[in-house]
Amino acid sequence: MTETSASRAPVTRKGSELPVSVDTTKMVQFLVEKGLTEVPPEFLLPKNLRPSSTRMKNIPRTFQIPVIDMAKLNHPDFGENVVREIGRACEEWGFFQVINHGFSAELMQGAMQMCGEFFALPMEEKKLYSMKTSSGIGYGRRMAVKEGVRVDWVDRLGFWSASEEHRKRQPLDVICPAAFNATMSQYGDEILKLAHVILSALSRHAGLDGNYLLDRLGETNTAGVRTGMNYYPPCPQPDLVMGIGQHADGSVLTIVQQDGTPGLEVLKDGLWVPIPAIPEAFVINVGDQIQMISNERYKSVVHRVVAGNGSGRKSISNFFLPNWETVVSPAPRFCTRSNPARYQPVKFSEYITEFMKVPLGEERFVDLFKVPARNEGNQYLISAEGTKGKICPQRFSD
Ligand code: OGA
Ligand code: NI
C-alpha cells in the first residue's frame, strides 16, 4: 500500500456510503455447507499472524478481563465500588464483562434464538437481505476486493436495533423468523439503556455529572445502536484463518452477547487474552469515540475473534453510536495543561463512513485524528457548551 495516513485526509472529506455487492456463494456458511475441507486462499493468514504463532501458552492467571457484578450499582453504600470497578476496567483493559446487569435473560435468549433462526434460513431467503452499501445494513461480509486481501471467517446481518428513528430511516424488515423485528427492537431499546448506565458510571468515575459523557454525544434521543449478528461457521483449519482480524471498534461503547462458545480475545500488554463465554453476561468495550472524548483516559483496545472447528459460534455485537452530526473531540474536563487534547475534532458521520471503508489491519483508524506530536494540544478544542462543531481556542481545566 502506497497511500499514507496523511494523504487520506478523512477529516475534511464528506462522508458518503459506497455501493456493496454481496456474492452469497462466497459467504462462509455457504462454503462450509458445501463441505469444504480446505480454507480458500483469500482467508489464509500469513504464518506470523496465525493464532498459534501469536498466542502465549501460559497467560498469567491474574490476566483476566474483569467480571463486574452490577447488582449494587444503585446501592447507596456500595454503588461507588461498582462505578470504580467499571472505570478502572475501562482505564486498564478497555474491556469487561457484566453480570446482574438487569437485562432480561429471556430477551437475551430470544435474541440469540433469532440469530440462530436467521442463519438457519436457506441461502435463497437470506439473500433477500443482502447488504447494498458500506453502511453495513443487511446480510453480507467484507469480500476480497483484490488479490492478496485476507478476509474474515464470519457472516453477518447488520441492522439498527435502536432507536425507533434509526429503525425507520434504514429499516431491515426481516420476515422470517416472524418475531425478529419485535424481539430485536425490544432488545435494542434495552441495550441502549444499558449503554446509558455504563456511560453514566464512567462519567461519575471521572468525577463528573452522570450525564456528562452522554451529553457529549449530541441529543440523547438521536444516538442509536447498530447491531451485528455474527455467525462464525466451524472451520476445517481454524489456525489458518481469523474470525475477525485484529481491530478496535469505531463506536462509543460496544456491548457483545456471546453464545456458549469462546473466541473473542483482547490484546493486553502484547498478549492475546481470551475472554471466557459466561452465560447471561455481556462483554462491554470502550470504542474509539470514548477514547477520543476522554482524551485516552478510557481505552479503545484492539481485539479479534479466533475461529474454531466445533459447532460454530454466534455472537451479537451492539455498537452504541452518537448522533451522526456530533463533532467528537476531547472534552474539556479530560484536558489539562499537562495532558492537552490529543485528538482533532471530527464529525462522527465522517469518522464512521470512512471507518467502514478502510480494511481492518495493523493501523489504528483513530490514529488518523491524532494531533501531531509537535503541536499537541495547541490546536483544537470544541467549546464546552456544545458538540455542534464550533472550534475554540484551547482552554485548560487546571
Ligand atoms: C465486533 C467484534 C466480537 C464477537 O463485531 O466488532 O469484535 O465476539 N465482535 O463477535
Ligand atoms: Ni470489535
Domain boundaries defined on the chain: 24-58+66-362
Dist. CA 210 → ligand 1 center (Å)? 28
Is the minimum distance from the CB of 303 to ligand 1 under 6 angstroms? yes
Q: Check whether 376 has a pLDDT greater than 50.
A: no
CB atoms within 10 A of CB 71: 13
CA distances from 344 to 31, 113, 337 (A): 43, 42, 16
- What pLDDT, on the 0 to 100 scale, is given for residue 146? 60
- What pLDDT, on the 0 to 100 scale, is given for residue 359? 63
Dist. CA 162 → ligand 1 center (Å)? 18
Q: Check whether 397 has a pLDDT greater than 70.
A: no
Q: pLDDT, tens digit, for every residue of 112-149? A: 999 999 999 999 999 999 998 877 899 998 765 666 67
- CATH H-level, domain 24-58+66-362: superfamily: B-lactam Antibiotic, Isopenicillin N Synthase; Chain (2.60.120.330)
Specify the residue with its C-alpha closest to ligand 1, atom 6: 249
- What pLDDT, on the 0 to 100 scale, is given for residue 266? 96
- What pLDDT, on the 0 to 100 scale, is given for residue 10? 36
- What interhelical angle do 105-120 and 180-205 show, nearest 10? 130
Give the chain's mean pLDDT.
87
Taken as a whole, the chain contains a residue count of 398
Is the minimum distance from the CB of 287 to ligand 1 under 6 angstroms? no
- Comparing 1-5, 157-161, 281-285, 356-360, which segment has the lowest mean pLDDT? 1-5
Here the cell at position 286 is 470502550
Is the minimum distance from the CB of 317 to ligand 1 under 6 angstroms? yes
**Rounded to an integer, what distance in angstroms lies between the CA atom of residue 319 and that of residue 136?**
12
User: How much is the average pLDDT of 347-366?
Assistant: 81
**Rounded to an integer, what distance in angstroms lies between the CA atom of residue 356 and that of residue 301?**
18
User: How much is the average pLDDT of 261-278?
Assistant: 94
**Rounded to an integer, what distance in angstroms lies between the CA atom of residue 3 and that of residue 21?**
25
> Residue 181 belongs to what H/E stretch?
helix 180-205
User: How much is the average pLDDT of 351-359?
Assistant: 79
Angle at 62 between CA 60 and CA 68, to 5 degrees: 145
Smallest CA-to-CA distance from 210 within 379, 80, 101, 364 is with 80
pLDDT band at 15 (very low <50, low <70, confident <90, very high): low
User: How much is the average pLDDT of 313-328?
Assistant: 96
Q: Which ligand is nearest to the CA of 301?
A: 2
pLDDT cut 70: percent of the chain above it: 87
User: How much is the average pLDDT of 74-103?
Assistant: 97
User: How much is the average pLDDT of 275-292?
Assistant: 97
- What pLDDT, on the 0 to 100 scale, is given for residue 9? 35
Is the minimum distance from the CB of 329 to ligand 1 under 6 angstroms? no
Q: pLDDT, tens digit, for every residue of 32-69? A: 999 999 999 999 999 998 999 888 777 787 889 999 99
Atom of ligand 1 nearest to the CA of 275: 8
Is the minimum distance from the CB of 285 to ligand 1 under 6 angstroms? no
**Rounded to an integer, what distance in angstroms lies between the CA atom of residue 349 and that of residue 316?**
23
Is the minimum distance from the CB of 318 to ligand 1 under 6 angstroms? no
- Give the pTM: 0.90
- What pLDDT, on the 0 to 100 scale, is given for residue 351? 93
User: How much is the average pLDDT of 326-338?
Assistant: 96
Is the minimum distance from the CB of 244 to ligand 1 under 6 angstroms? yes
Residue 260 · residue 274 · CB < 8 Å: no
User: How much is the average pLDDT of 331-345?
Assistant: 96
Sequence letter at residue 17: E
Dist. CA 33 → ligand 2 center (Å)? 26
- What pLDDT, on the 0 to 100 scale, is given for residue 18? 76
**Rounded to an integer, what distance in angstroms lies between the CA atom of residue 161 and that of residue 270?**
34
Cα-trace Rg, the chain: 21
Q: For ligand 2, a single-atom ion, which residues have Cβ within 5 Å?
A: 249
